[in-house]
Amino acid sequence: VGCMVNGAGLAMGTMDIVNLHGGKPANFLDVGGGATKERVAEAFKIILSDDNVKAVLVNIFGGIVRCDMIAEGIIGAVKEVGV
């Protein structure tokens, strides 16, 4: 499971929950609080470059970053990568 999260604490918690339920986190990718749609798209492409990633879990705390920027970045990356 690829994980795209904003904030180190939230990322660690996300990885713990994935692991607790039998999943295997593939990465620790913190897009940070100043994420732009371009940065999110690049992050998504990095995660999807791992052939072992079968799913991507996006866990974003909306009080830090604009969620529309995250969504636009994900949409852009999916179109570009062809998922």
| Structural domain containing residue 37 | 2-81
Instruction: Count how many domains the chain has.
Output: 1
pLDDT per residue of the chain (83 residues) written in tens, 0 to 9: 999 999 899 999 999 999 999 999 999 899 888 888 888 888 888 999 999 999 999 999 888 788 888 888 889 888 888 77
Q: Which of 12, 69, 9, 16 is nearest to 43 (CA)?
A: 69
Q: How far apart are the first and last CA of the chain?
A: 15
Predicted confidence at residue 24, as pLDDT, reads 97
Q: What is the pTM of this model?
A: 0.86
Characterise 21 by phi-psi region: left (phi > 0), alpha (psi -120 to 50), beta (else): alpha
CATH number at residue 49: 3.40.50.261
